A and B are shown apart, each in its own frame.
Chain A
Amino acid sequence: MKFGIRNLTLPLAAAGALLVASCATAPPALHDSDLDRLANRINTADVAQLVNGSAPVFLLDSEVYHRTSDIEYLWQKLVAAGFKVKPPFTQADAGNSASAPGSSVAAVAFSAPVPVSANSYSSFGDGFQPKGFFERYVPANSYLVDVATTLGTFRLIVAAGHPSFIGPDRYSNKTVTPSSQESPVIVGMTGPIDTGGAK
């Protein structure tokens, strides 16, 4: 059967519309460069920077933390334990990786980011808190990503860009955001986990 260009007009238009629609609704991507910055932040071991790059309400396994002091306590202990992205590259080293020449830290140490979906909470438990946390506090532009560290493989919830996490408040219309412009933002973590990539 022969098809002229006119026969293709409708399917092409539909495909184009679908593409535009999907682009319009797709969350900002989490690029390798974002993960490189994240690895750098972790490996720099600066607690203040790590706290600033964490969401103000944070999920650790199945537990929700609202106090900055708790998030700070977590990073202090992890840093003290030598928590580093493995192998412990810095961004400058990334291009010289023997295992993956020319690759970024992200390509070596992180799994491919998986956009957060309706069932993403299950990595963190199936109780009230993880479910509620994902519905309430995880921004739309968030991803699950596994990272190999010196303490094992951890699954992170990572929000791309500079999301506003909470609010607006009914009185002040203000939102709580990390105190600096660290990006991407770690919204939660669980681990060590069995490796096998983000679900």
Chain B
Amino acid sequence: MRTAASACRMRLLIAAALLLTACAALPVFGQEAQVVYLQGTVNIKSASGALAPADFGSPVNPGDTVITGRDGTAQVQEGNVNTITLSPNSVFTLQRQIVDQKPQPVLTTVLGSITFKLQRVGGFEPGIATMSTLAGARGTELTVFAGSDGSTLIAVASGVVDVQSQGRTVSLNQDEAVQVNAGMPPGEKFKILHGQLNFSEWNQGREEAIASNPIAALDAASRQLDDIITSLEKVAPQYEELHAKLLAARAKQKEILDKQGKDAATEFYKSDVNPLEVQTSNTFLNVRYWSLSALSFRQFVLGGIYLREKTAQLTGTATDDHQAFLARFRSITESFDRMAAQYLSKLDV
């Protein structure tokens, strides 16, 4: 269990991370991303926790979530080359992960249907993610469906996309698609034409799967959350260790300042403290990435499954296993609270 001191430290670090994100001069892609077109209801939940209607020109920064309403569509553009188009009822998050000590933008389709038109400029290669897959895109136009049960369908209109899930990778070329069922590796790829894509029809199957066996849907979703939490469990101890080293180094720097003077302390800062600060900050960004991913999954996928089962129970159409569902759901959310919530703040809710 976290101590009060560590809780305080975490709040400060979360605040620091938010500040870094908000003030980041580094754009998420090559240039700043912003909303260039919208229609109907479109809200942006910013990294600072504010939720507000989007407008033409609204910036979309790392940590932001764009949510379209039933009547809403939005287009987010970076420079003049990369475009992200959100269909109605979609949720998109822009995050940043540190890979090989370099920030990598990760564009996540949490729910709904999103089309990406991406050009690789100056080495730019974002991760295209859903709650269950990560795809590397190279000079690509692709559409991503993220269903109510956590399943994914990725269809490529041009370029090449490598889709990874549960340790398996499938390479997609033009007019190819693959479905990744919740908590499963990618299935077999198949041919598809862009005009054949229909999210509502596809998602209807996902809704029916939840309705017919909500516990199975919950179990599959739970495996996805487990994957996210496993990734978090890998980086969190690294962060804790680095943070402890950083505190020790700062203490030593102060000791050097007291005993040997300013020049020696500055030298020690450059050689020891600053590299640790960079490493700790980078690792913390990854901790935040995975904990925010867990939260998105909890709110938009697990929450959706819960809503369907809850209303089925109220309307008398639930399965006989409602109590078993509730027990399973409670166990999953407890796992979320135990592992991910400690790295989140109320602003993230």
| Chain A residues near B53 (CB-CB < 8 A) | 172, 174, 176
A111 at the interface (CB under 8 A from B): no
Contact of B344 among A66, A128, A168 (CB under 8 A): A128
Q: B306-318: contact bitstring with A at CB < 8 Å (1 yes, 0 no)? A: 1110111011100
| Chain A residues near B70 (CB-CB < 8 A) | 68-69, 72
A65→B302 CA distance, assembly (Å): 11
CB pair A170 B349 closer than 8 Å: no
Contact of A78 among B43, B69, B308, B311 (CB under 8 A): B311
CB-nearest residue of chain B to A73: B307
Contact of B298 among A83, A129, A169, A170 (CB under 8 A): A129
| Chain A residues near B219 (CB-CB < 8 A) | none
Contact of B303 among A64, A68, A136, A168 (CB under 8 A): A64
A129→B295 CA distance, assembly (Å): 9
B89 at the interface (CB under 8 A from A): yes
| Chain B residues near A56 (CB-CB < 8 A) | 43, 51
A137→B344 CA distance, assembly (Å): 16
A77→B52 CA distance, assembly (Å): 27
| Chain B residues near A66 (CB-CB < 8 A) | 43, 45, 51, 65, 67, 91, 299-300
CB pair A63 B349 closer than 8 Å: no
A131 at the interface (CB under 8 A from B): yes
Most buried by A among B51, B299, B347: B51
B336 at the interface (CB under 8 A from A): yes
A73→B309 CA distance, assembly (Å): 12
CB pair B333 A62 closer than 8 Å: yes
CB pair B311 A67 closer than 8 Å: no
Most buried by B among A73, A81, A133, A137: A81
CB pair B51 A81 closer than 8 Å: no
Query: Separation in Å of the B38 CB from the closest CB of chain A?
Result: 13
CB-nearest residue of chain A to B89: A69
B166 at the interface (CB under 8 A from A): no
B136 at the interface (CB under 8 A from A): no
Contact of A73 among B58, B311, B345, B349 (CB under 8 A): B311
CB pair B51 A74 closer than 8 Å: no
A168→B49 CA distance, assembly (Å): 10
| Chain A residues near B49 (CB-CB < 8 A) | 136
| Chain A residues near B349 (CB-CB < 8 A) | 64, 128-129, 132-133, 135-137
A172→B34 CA distance, assembly (Å): 13
Query: Separation in Å of the A57 CB from the closest CB of chain B?
Result: 7
CB pair A168 B341 closer than 8 Å: no
CB pair A61 B310 closer than 8 Å: yes
Count of chain B residues with Cβ under 8 Å from any Cβ of A?
Answer: 48
Query: Separation in Å of the A120 CB from the closest CB of chain B?
Result: 15
CB pair B69 A169 closer than 8 Å: no
CB-nearest residue of chain B to A125: B333
Q: A144-168: contact bitstring with B at CB < 8 Å (1 yes, 0 no)? A: 0000000100000000000000111
CB-nearest residue of chain A to B22: A170
A128→B302 CA distance, assembly (Å): 15
A6→B304 CA distance, assembly (Å): 66
CB pair B311 A74 closer than 8 Å: yes
CB pair A57 B51 closer than 8 Å: yes
A28 at the interface (CB under 8 A from B): no
Query: Separation in Å of the A117 CB from the closest CB of chain B?
Result: 17
CB pair B46 A169 closer than 8 Å: yes
26 A/B residue pairs, CB under 8 Å, sorted by A: A60-B307, A63-B303, A65-B303, A65-B307, A66-B65, A66-B91, A66-B299, A68-B70, A69-B89, A81-B316, A127-B333, A127-B341, A128-B337, A128-B344, A129-B333, A132-B348, A135-B346, A167-B51, A168-B50, A168-B52, A169-B52, A170-B22, A171-B52, A172-B55, A174-B55, A176-B51
Given contacts A63-B303, A132-B349, A170-B46, 16 further A-B contacts (CB under 8 A): A56-B43, A64-B303, A66-B67, A66-B91, A68-B69, A73-B308, A77-B315, A81-B315, A83-B314, A128-B341, A131-B346, A136-B49, A168-B52, A170-B22, A174-B53, A176-B43
Which residues does B use to contact A, with CB under 8 Å?
22, 41, 43-46, 48-53, 55, 58-59, 65, 67, 69-70, 89, 91, 111, 298-300, 302-304, 306-308, 310-312, 314-316, 333-334, 336-337, 341, 344-349
The 7 closest A-B pairs by CB, nearest first: A169-B52, A132-B349, A77-B311, A128-B341, A81-B315, A132-B346, A166-B51
